[in-house]
Amino acid sequence: MDTAAAQWTGAEDPAYRERRGGRTFGVWVAGLLLAGVSVVVGCRAADTDGITPVPQLLAFLPWLLVPTGLALLLALLARWRTGLVWGVALLGFVAWFIQPYGRADEPGGRPLAGLRVMTSNVEFGRGTGSLIEAVRRRAPDILFVEECDYGCSRALEDAFGGDEGVYPYREAVEGAGSDGSVVMSRFPLKGADGVRGTMGMPGAVADVRGHAVRLQLAHPMPPLPGQLGVWRHELGELRDYADRSREPTVLAGDFNASQDHAAFRRILDTGLRDSARLTGSPRTPSWPARTTPAFGAQIDHVLVSADFSADRAAFLRISGSDHRALVVDLTLHQRD
To the nearest whole number, what is the mean pLDDT of the chain?
Answer: 93
Q: 5: pLDDT confidence band, cut at 50, 70 and 90?
A: very low
Structural contact between residues 271 and 56, judged by C-beta atoms closer than 8 angstroms: no
Report pLDDT digits (tens) over 168-227.
999 999 999 999 999 999 999 999 999 999 999 999 999 999 999 999 999 999 999 999
Q: 26: pLDDT confidence band, cut at 50, 70 and 90?
A: confident
pLDDT of residue 294: 81
Cα 22 to Cα 13, 74, 79, distances in angstroms: 14, 10, 11
pLDDT of residue 6: 45
pLDDT of residue 292: 81
Domain ranges of the chain: 3-97, 111-333
pLDDT of residue 20: 67
Instruction: Return the axis-axis angle of helices 14-45 and 65-77, rounded to nearest 10°.
Output: 150
In the predicted model, what is the mean pLDDT of residues 79-108?
Answer: 94
Distance of CA 264 to the CA centre of its chain: 9
Superfamily of domain 111-333: Endonuclease/exonuclease/phosphatase (3.60.10.10)
Residues of the chain above pLDDT 70, percent: 93
* pTM (predicted TM-score): 0.92
pLDDT of residue 17: 60
Report pLDDT digits (tens) over 230-253.
999 999 999 999 999 999 999 999
- Residue 288: asked if its preceding bond is cis (omega within 30°), the reply is yes
Residue 75, pLDDT > 70, answer yes
Report pLDDT digits (tens) over 315-327.
999 999 999 999 9
Q: 16: pLDDT confidence band, cut at 50, 70 and 90?
A: low
